[in-house]
Structure 1
Amino acid sequence: MCATVLNRFLILLIICFGNWCLADLKLEVNDACATQHYQGTCISTSKCSHISEFMDNLGLKSTDVMSCGYDIKEEVICCPPEKSLVRSANRPAEHACEKIESRLITHGIIYDSRAQRRYPYMAYIVYNVTGHICGGTVIHKNFILTAAHCLDLPEVMPTKVILGVSNLNRFEDEGIEVDVKNIHIYQNYSAFTKYDDIGLIELVEYDDFQGKVNPACLYTEPTELFNGTELTVTGWGSTEKDLHSTQLMMTKLMYIPLSQCNASYANYIDRRIPRGILDSQLCAYAPGRDICGGDSGGGVVIIDNDKYKVVGIVSASINCGANLPSLHTRVAKYLDYIEGIIWPNGYV
């Protein structure tokens, strides 16, 4: 019994003096600290009241929050600054956008050999098995923004992405293949619903894009888009003739406000959206136009200040071509999550 007590004493490393105890801290209270996801300050858990909201915003697990040790009564954790929850001005995504060159082409025919030049942010995902088609958006030289359902597939893994190509039949001549280094799936994503459908593909270091690739900006405005805002969606999805297109295709949809979108789905029962349409989703619609299989993961973009800005990620179309708005992940709701992976220290 004495040995057990001694072992516990050695493990906890607690020294008691009279009526109080001092735990052995890895870092001192108020020391600066940093993890791979954020920078912060070591403070008592009870004083870091915003940590749960911060973890939800970034899709972090409890194991992602660094422990600094223990004080007299409780654990001391690496607590992020509160301002990181509401930062809008001068956030990393905005700084990154300032560095992105405007490469808009606003004339000519959509479906020609210049399609990829029109949308130089488009990425085609290659898997270890055939039969899966998804796209993505280049938002950084080493990261592709895509849908979580394009990454969370049993025994199916993305191995490469093809950049700078419009016609998949000519990707060996036109495209740039880059290997996948890692995948990041939003922590709260579930394959059983269409919520939190967002993830990132991390690429191996690669810089020689031969002028064919240009990232899109992230849309950072917290305000709602105007009803009817024109949205551009691109992808290699199915067409009337084929299961999927080998040519990069484009369609224009209109933004549908959340209340109107929920009204459209009022009489539609789908277990994938048990809570209705949430503000973390974005709806789009146009008569006779829709997204289809193979468009998943691609960017939903607007043109703002002569730059493409990603407002959404193609998530789901209920019965392709049906008279219902398509569902997309609203990027602005996941900025902390994206920035925490791409720019964990806040530096661009």
Structure 2
Amino acid sequence: MSLHGVGRTVAWLAILSLSSHATPSRAIQLDERLFGANEESYTVLRTAVDNEGSYYSSTTTTTLFERSIETDETIRETVVLKSRTIIDANYTGPEKAPVETVIQARGETASLTEMVERWPIQGVKLDPKLLEGFKVISGSIYFRQVFLTHPAGLVESEKQPNEEQPAPGWQVMDGRYAGGATILKVVRGDVTAKEGPTDGVWVALNPETAVQVNKLSLLPPTILSLGSAKDLAGAQEIVRNLKPIPEGPDSHLLEVAIWNFTKTNERGFHVVATASDAIIRNEKVAEFEQTRDARLTPVPTDSFTKWIAPDAK
């Protein structure tokens, strides 16, 4: 048999092998690109690829989503482009099979200039070490094991699983600080695999939650406590009974805050020295105790769940 004949035989065997396989399970893969943000909302371009349960056709839909910074709920969505790609399953030639792309829908969106004017903030990239503190468990986002939110965007994406295969877990891969909020890129699948994650969506933590994440990220393993109470009113009473902070270059070392803590058999509130590390490092414990008329006791922070301003209403 000639080499040309061998080549054609191999090609035919490949085609027969492909045709003998069962059709793939239907799956919809999602990926979102962050476009921009303002103080009220942020926008993403979502690309959804539906394999239609076939090796030879797929539908791709690109949608512009505007979501609330405060709630992460969708404010509006606009289909930018929807197209269907079809591969000629009957082609037997030596080259790649012909591919036809049919535009099924084309939406009307604002101009690029108008969109940039409306959502001008690109955000500041979060420190990778900060990202390591985030975990996604059962669709909820946690930081340092503290529950933050069950975001609408993540719940929405969970409505499109593979028909047969169980969905892999979610993890936080990227993040931006924008519009006063923290916006996280959450992906499903193995980010180290050659084919990459199966899905990726952006979700927002509102400004209040972003503040909590920042406070939690700055917590040392141990902090100096001025006392604890069973309720917030009791903790605020401890604060009111402290001597006032005198003016001076080191006045920031005398500031306090309240932290809610939750243990297995105990819940309550600690009043703590916010600059505990500096107080210990500069040997200012006795000075703090004398100036504010309080006793400092080191306590672990692994049970701390929420930072509260001492004058919170």
* TM-score category of the 2 structures, normalised to the smaller one: under 0.3
Larger radius of gyration: 2
TM normalised by structure 1 equals 0.22
Q: TM-score, normalised by structure 2?
A: 0.23
